[in-house]
Amino acid sequence: RRKLLADISHEFRTPLTVIRGEAEIAMRGNSKTKTEYRDSFQRIMDQADHTTRLVDDLLFIARVDAGEPRLKVRSVAIAGMVESVCGEFQVRAEQKDVSLDLNCVDDKAVVRGDAGRLKQVMAILTDNAIRYSNPGGTVEIDLERTRDEVRISFRDHGIGLSEEEAEQAFERFYRGTKAEEHARGTGLGLPVAKAIVEAHNGRITLEGKLGEGAIATVTLPAESRLRIVA
């Protein structure tokens, strides 16, 4: 609980400062135009949304730590979900001059889980791979199914990370030196992904080398094909 409160006070300081500052500007001095008011309120709404997402993610991590995750479990066609996430990130990848290469060895792979939370994991790992790629690079996303598991890997060929950074990457708010220099972030994405994957009785790993890219791999229990047919 002390750790959670420390995390909240650390991370919420900036958005709350922005919200208060925008409100003070909107109320100060002469009347402003509708456009000026609308711009201020939009920034307030954006920061409020950001804060809400942080609260939701931190509470989810805390519930997983307490052994009480709240999941809406059903059969999830994981290949279709990954394909959908790639489509949603296509514009962002193009803006970074990065190509997305999706390879689904088993496009009928199914897992049992919370579709919304699993999609959040795929989005976090796709976003990270694009974010830390170099312009002109390729993000390779591979999905394969073994007898009992479904494995999804996200490989980039960007800035990479050291072995020490890979070990600490799943700690809340941790940001490696190269990551800080390369792109903005909260350092909460991978801890949230880890909490979600572990709540689904799965595993997540991160490997890489400085200057040679990184690969994040999610492994989830596969749903029995007999159960799917039934």
**pLDDT tens, N- to C-terminus, the chain (230 residues):** 566 566 666 667 777 788 888 888 788 767 788 888 888 888 888 888 878 888 888 888 878 887 888 889 999 999 999 999 999 999 999 999 999 999 988 888 999 999 999 999 999 999 999 999 999 999 999 999 988 999 999 999 999 888 888 888 888 766 555 555 545 555 678 999 999 999 999 999 999 998 889 999 999 999 875 454 33
Q: How far apart are CA 121 and CA 204, in angstroms?
A: 10
Q: How far apart are CA 61 and CA 41, in angstroms?
A: 30
Q: How far apart are CA 79 and CA 82, in angstroms?
A: 5
Contacts for 164-169: CB closer than 8 Å, 24+ residues apart: 166/206, 166/207, 166/208, 166/214, 169/206
Write down the pLDDT at residue 124.
Answer: 93
Three-class DSSP category at 194:
helix
Q: How far apart are CA 185 and CA 127, in angstroms?
A: 11
Identify whether the C-beta of residue 143 lies closer than 8 Å to the C-beta of residue 78. yes
Write down the pLDDT at residue 70.
Answer: 84
Three-class DSSP category at 138:
strand
Q: What is the CA radius of gyration of the chain?
A: 20
| CB neighbour list of residue 12: distance below 8 Å, 6 or more residues apart | 51, 54
Length of the chain: 230
Contacts for 58-64: CB closer than 8 Å, 24+ residues apart: 58/4, 58/7, 58/8, 58/188, 60/117, 60/192, 60/195, 60/196, 61/172, 61/191, 61/192, 61/195, 62/4, 64/195, 64/196, 64/198, 64/199
Write down the pLDDT at residue 102.
Answer: 94
> Comparing C-alpha atoms, which of 105, 213, 199, 103 is closest to residue 157?
213
Write down the pLDDT at residue 125.
Answer: 95
Write down the pLDDT at residue 223.
Answer: 86
Render pLDDT for 180-191 as a digit per residue (tens, 0 to 9): 554 555 567 899
Would you give the DSSP letter of residue 112? E
Write down the pLDDT at residue 96.
Answer: 93
Q: How far apart are CA 186 and CA 174, in angstroms?
A: 8
